[in-house]
Structure 1
């Protein structure tokens, strides 16, 4: 692979994430088509507090950044502040090492919000000078110094402690109000991205309390969350304090094809050169996740396949395998969810098998079925949580409840990942060797009116769903699962039981195993930087880019992108 090809490959991988699109390119690379996009945009720019819900890659970050641009460029819209909290995991060690971890987290969220306010003022048109608003409180440099110390788990000195003490909900509200008045807008929205602090429920509860407390007559916070692992604060009531707005586009939505292709048209170079049948297959396999569609299209354009069918099949299989791997990682990141993850994967496979068998019967009627209906009575809280995890991982779409009269005929409808259905040939005939054209024709068939309805336990007899429960953590010494939640010593080896830090597990990941790096880059780092072996080594460096620049062939642009890949992996692993 040539140097130029390596450069283009890495750039392509990064550009699929909205975080890496330059703000001024966002308008050009956004397709505002589709009813869902317009609904979410309205909700992000109205006066009400909202939570934006959806799995990774569905467009939460993109829509928030786009909403910020719309507010900046259209005088009738509110003043907007966009703040990302994707570095919250760096504060996780404080929970076990610092008695005031929650207080420091509280101050960190407020400091991040004020820094985001300053950034918004700098990018506003015309630019808003906000330095004088902070002079009586704290300087921007002092705020940044406080945030840096917290994220590096360093003790606060006198200066940064003074910064923490000076921050409060009321102070942040007053600063945003003053900025809003200077911008000449009637109210403000605070777009709080990456707010789903899934791995540290203690922080999540505190965060949602902050979101609720920041709400004012002229200030409407909006927070992006996940559907499965986001645990809501007892003081934060969905439906009262906030309304959840789904972002995920259903694969059976009438405007699905036009919306997904509109996004690809805006983001993918030479999109119209991709063969029509290939676009249909990849669009269907993307399962309503724009990032997935863009990534698979890019892989097809860069791939060197013997046939179109071989290329499409391999891309879809790799995509689904990656989604399953991500889902399994939830059980490692949050040990108490391990049993739900294991059961969820079995349920997903069982539902896909049922749909395949059902579609074989429907073939003669020129119809297809993608939906599985589960009687509401079967959805106990623990089963519902299991499905929420499948939804969060983007493996199952929750298509809401449908009623057919009696309580026994009230069904919750779920659609399993379409890439899985294509992988097991649940459409277009169950036998091996079916043509691309057969599958494309099957995708175009009209959907049957009623979903498949069969008891969940019958679909997965190998899993005891009736006694499904959260998993207890394992002993770090001998890997034996504890027997009770309050157990202090391992019943197998006698070692004292300590909860493992997800952050520490992430830091021990070898750099050579981080996806997104090319094989050549891995070899160069291994050969020339023997002290840079794990993400712990990388994050410990004050300026890791300086070390990378010493490697022959690592220029400034390539080094910057490698740093982005490594930081992005850490963010994704713990977000």
Structure 2
């Protein structure tokens, strides 16, 4: 078996892979893209159509790459729409404005529109043939003034007279008119607005505002496409998945029949030394990548650098390093969004329990030359808060949602989840045995056909030390300074000294029945009880990422009424805890 040797050539180090799609030169994107697989073609079709779409998937699954590739294909093909790619990955620079300036949301609104206009101008300038559209801007707005405005906002510099004038001149209508006029000069039938890094999860106030902008920008000939995350992206009360937008999954399943072809096609296009890597290493790392192209490319790159005694040692070390990084990223969600901390802790315990159950099941499956990858959770166990926990695991790329399956009666409808393949490999859930088993055993196990049915053990039985019925959000932060409390019995903030909402008060608020919330009519309460039986308390309501989408399914609930109900429920929580 070939053993990798360390890379020593300075040129090799210089051209070492930068796996993020943001850094691939646009003219190199076509030759570094694999178009294999139904998923790629489906997402591409959704990106170029006239509908508002959200691309959903964890980091590294290819959202940015697909958007940039789509932009390039549109530029090079006359029958496709005019395309604009705009990244909002600098939104975190505006976070200090929330605490330092009263008009932070207004500045954010203007910043989004300014970046969008600059991207329209950039797309026109890079189009073939090149388009000159700066003359379409109204008096008082030039590319230089717009860029100066963006730079000042991103540096948290208070607006001066000129930047304030620029901010006031920006509007949704201006962006729509500019996009339409540019499209006409490009002689295309409609425009797609590819909005990357749109999941502003660290600043939920901005996220609500951003999704309102996305919804408002949609016209007959302007179709926004925004990339979001599965777990922490909380929808605006006025932005509804399934109504305003359709979610498009971007994550490829390891159970997909074309998995090997698709993932190897990507690697072959991006990794120059792909054919020199041992087949056993590629097979194991491909499976451990768990459908995330960036993960596979990174692990192949690490393997190519060498520094290990054998292929087996190198593969094991790389997979464990990758798994540790994914778990670390998942744990960081609790730090980034403190209210989710308890869900993160519970999620890690559930993940480990599912993997152990699958390991046990594979001891039986192996005797039938089959493999087991999937854990089935009875849908009745997926309360809103438990489902939110699973969505966080999905966002971190640690669990894949493989859809639902029905086994007979309605009580036996299961949601199928696949724990991360790297975790299954690390605990030897595939191939049997304990640590130290051979790489060949693992590869043989990966190659087997999958069991028809998932492991069907009650989730609570798998994690007996964790009471899922008591799962809830973490305690609230200090309303005065935002510091997270240390204990649930703490009465005063240890940072600023302000009195805190008592833990029992917080729990009491969450346990308030929706029937008891003032401001709702008897008819509204009855409709919610009849059509949304899972919405019993405010805890259930707050656990949902997009509660408005559920409310819209209730007979008689239109957009206005739904928005009012969401505002009433959120307003009650805010007042209760103030």
Structure 1: distance between partners of 2:97 and 2:500: 15
Equivalent of residue 184 in structure 1, options 155, 177, 187:
187
Trace 1:32-431 onto structure 2 (pairs within 5 A).
Answer: 32-431=35-434
Q: Secondary structure at the match of 1:453?
A: coil
Structure 1: distance between partners of 2:193 and 2:313: 46
Trace 1:458-537 onto structure 2 (pairs within 5 A).
Answer: 458-473=461-476, 480-481=485-486, 483=488, 489-490=492-493, 495-496=497-498
Moved more, 470-479 or 423-432: 470-479
Q: Structure 1 unaligned runs (5+)?
A: 500-575
Q: CA deviation at 1:135?
A: 5.0
Q: Is the 8 A contact 1:51 1:242 kept in 2?
A: yes
Give a deviation string over 1:240-273, Cα, whole Å, max 9, x none. 1000000000000000000000000100012111
Residue 495 to residue 323, structure 1, CA distance change in 2 (3 Å): same
Q: CA deviation at 1:7?
A: 7.4
Cross-structure match for 1:12: 16
Give a deviation string over 1:139-190, Cα, whole Å, max 9, x none. 1111011101111110011111111000000000000001000000011100
Q: CA deviation at 1:136?
A: 2.4
Structure 1: distance between partners of 2:362 and 2:187: 58
TM-score normalized with structure 1 length? 0.83
Q: Is the 8 A contact 2:7 2:306 kept in 1?
A: no
Q: CA deviation at 1:11?
A: 5.2
Q: Is the 8 A contact 1:360 1:430 kept in 2?
A: no
Give a deviation string over 1:382-412, Cα, whole Å, max 9, x none. 1001000000000000011111232211000
Residue 207 to residue 131, structure 1, CA distance change in 2 (3 Å): same
TM-score normalized with structure 2 length? 0.83
Q: Is the 8 A contact 1:477 1:495 kept in 2?
A: no
Q: Secondary structure at the match of 2:54?
A: strand
Q: Is the 8 A contact 2:476 2:484 kept in 1?
A: no
Give a deviation string over 1:114-155, Cα, whole Å, max 9, x none. 011111011100011011112525011110111011111100
Structure 2: distance between partners of 1:271 and 1:366: 30
Q: CA deviation at 1:362?
A: 1.5
Q: Secondary structure at the match of 1:223?
A: strand
Structure 2: distance between partners of 1:193 and 1:498: 38
Q: Secondary structure at the match of 1:452?
A: coil
Moved more, 296-305 or 429-438: 429-438
Q: Is the 8 A contact 2:7 2:304 kept in 1?
A: no
Q: Secondary structure at the match of 1:12?
A: coil
